[in-house]
Amino acid sequence: MKHDKPLQEQQTAAPDQTVLTRPYAEISAKLHLLLHTGQLLMESGADSDRTVRDMMRVAAYMGIPEDRVHQHIMYTTLMLNINDETHSYTEFRKCKKHGINMTALSAVSKLTWRALAKNYTLEEFEQQLMAIKNRPRNYPFWLTALGAGAACGGFCKLFGGSWLDFFLTALCAFLGFYVKRLCTSYGFNIYAVIAITSFATTMLAWSTQFLTGTMNWYPLIACTLFLVPGIPLINAVDDLLNNFIVSGMTRAMNTLLVVGSMTFGIVIAIRLGNVADFTSVSLQPDTIYFSQAIAAAISSMGFSIIFNIPRRLLPVVAVGGIITVLLRNICVMQFGLSQAAGSFLGAAVVGLIALKAIHWFHTPNIILTIPSAIPMIPGVLLYRLLFAILNIQTITPSMLLDGLRSGILAIIIIIGIAIGVAIPNIFIHRYIEHNKQRTVEDLLARRYTSE
């Protein structure tokens, strides 16, 4: 797209629709909206590649040539530069609060396409963007807490626990989620919140022995897994694979701090309860099929509620969770493949199915693939590594080696899951982007021919 007028054009008052066909008209407002879009995406759990793609689509809607937009994406900071032959505008934006809000990710993606198709004015675009930002969550807090409980209960069953263990785990995680909210409301440091929550939740799981008369190992293992940063883990690998090195390393370090905080809280709890290292408990599932399918569906939907995905997609994600877990179990237990290979194949199949499903359900593929793959995140293997490091002075060399082996296996599994769900972008990225770019060009062509 060619442009003949320099940045001074922003000083000229222009009609609303004309602004979209003059790249540098109201450039300050355009910079603001572009960065606001990127900030909302990053703070809602988008990976860096998606943030760049959606921001470039917004720039195209605003009439700014692609070769004039330069972005630098980091986990906590966004930098945007727009220039012509004689002028350059640069602006920064801090991303202050990171969470997971998949409804927001889906809504921003749809907004960028609507803005192109309907030629929104900048004011209309900003209004709709703010509406997305201020939209209340799809689920009340008590239901989100139930989702956290169900997610951990599903993990407990996937590890081989009984249905009694499932309900005990769900109850402890439900109450732990309220502890997390209480700590957050007092403005505690995020890592302190994680440590306190994991401590309280583990103590609750430990106390269930007074109800059943025996130590309930599986609730101890699974009750805090709603705190595991599954999406940041996957996003970290995705960023590194897509050459967003700084952002990927920052996400990875943040994930390590979260898991370390969880482990700190758990270790304090088991020390007070005089509990042996429970991460050595066998995680072999009791069956391959029926109960595992139910547990996978429950876990996927539970995490989806935490991630705030649209309600209409909960059954879809449940089916995706069943596919990933059953494929992994069949590959590992029937065909003797490694857990990493089984996890990769499960995630890959869902990633490929999502190529079609996104057109059926009109939603970005990450909304379908990541919640479906989350039940395969090897949180306990990461625990084993950190427990080995924390107890390095008292454990034997063989136990330390087992811990290191568990940590390496966990990293390999996470990489396998991330590559699996990203297969469409890895292998047919150019084809997908070509089709999207052609759609963008067609929409822009209609804009200019209608004038």
Q: What angle do CA 93, 58, 239 make, to 5 degrees?
A: 60
Indicate whether 382 pLDDT > 90.
no
**The three-state (H, E, C) secondary structure of 266-321, written as one string:** HHHHHHHCCCCCHHHCCCCCCCCCHHHHHHHHHHHHHHHHHCCCCHHHHHHHHHHH
Residue 424 has a pLDDT of 67
In Å, how far are 146, 165, 374, 378, 408 from 415, measured between CA atoms? 29, 30, 13, 11, 11
Indicate whether 8 pLDDT > 60.
no
287 against 293, higher pLDDT: 293
Reported as a single tens digit per residue, the pLDDT across 47-92 is 998 999 999 999 988 888 888 899 999 999 999 998 877 888 889 9
Written as six digits, the tokens of 32 are: 């603001």
Least confident of 131-145, 303-317, 375-389: 375-389
Residue 427 has a pLDDT of 62
Indicate whether 10 pLDDT > 60.
no
Least confident of 70-74, 163-167, 288-292, 400-404: 288-292
Indicate whether 237 pLDDT > 50.
yes
Mean pLDDT, the chain, integer: 84
Residue 392 has a pLDDT of 77
Burial class of residue 243 (count of CB atoms within 10 Å of its CB; 0-12, 13-18, 19+): exposed
Residue 301 has a pLDDT of 95
Written as six digits, the tokens of 218 are: 């599986």
Mean pLDDT, to the nearest integer, of 261-266? 88
Residue 205 has a pLDDT of 93
Reported as a single tens digit per residue, the pLDDT across 410-446 is 888 888 888 888 776 666 556 666 667 777 777 777 7
Residue 2 has a pLDDT of 39
Per-position b or e across 118-148, b if 16+ CB within 10 A of its CB: ebbebeebbebbeebbeeeebbeeeebbbbb
